[in-house]
Amino acid sequence: MAITKIHAIKSTLGKALAYIENPDKTDGQMLVSGYNCEPQTASIDFEMTAVLAHKARNLKRKRSTNLAYHLIQSFSPEDAVTPEQAHELGKKLAFEYTGGKYEYVVATHIDKGHIHNHIIFNAASFVDHHKYVSNKRSYHKICRISNRICHENGLATSMPT
């Protein structure tokens, strides 16, 4: 069963990206993908989008409190999921959840007893420049999408689909 967690990144975006992209955890970075950004330059890409969003929305504050969001999708060791399959499931979750409006990096870690995805997505949309809003409703949406994707792929879910 896949368990999900999410938290905001307020100041250490570069460190968070470096952690999830660690070659020792991601099969030499073979299990790292970016959407509308290159994983190696994602922090710069995210910042450029944030600057453009601030200008487009005529915001007076220079910097918002949340730079990005870190979503974790952990699979049970009992699930027969390969690292490559888990990575594809993480990319599906990230794209569906963000609606293709936010840059993100997906990294699948295989260094522990369970395979898990780290997804870091920008807090500012590159499409409509809106800010991502995190709340209980958004978390439940993540769980529903993850559960549906797992169910469609024959994996256990964390709650009824």
10-45 per-residue burial string, b: 16 or more CB within 10 A, e: under 16: eeebeebbeebbeeebbbeeebbbbbbbebeebbeb
Query: Helix or strand or coil: residue 117?
Result: strand
104 given a catalytic annotation: no
Phi, then psi, of 85 in degrees rounded to 5: -65, -45
Tell me how far apart the alpha carbons of residues 108 and 74 are, in angstroms, rounded to a whole number.
10
Residue of 19, 97, 132, 139 marked catalytic: 19
Q: Which residues are catalytic?
A: 19
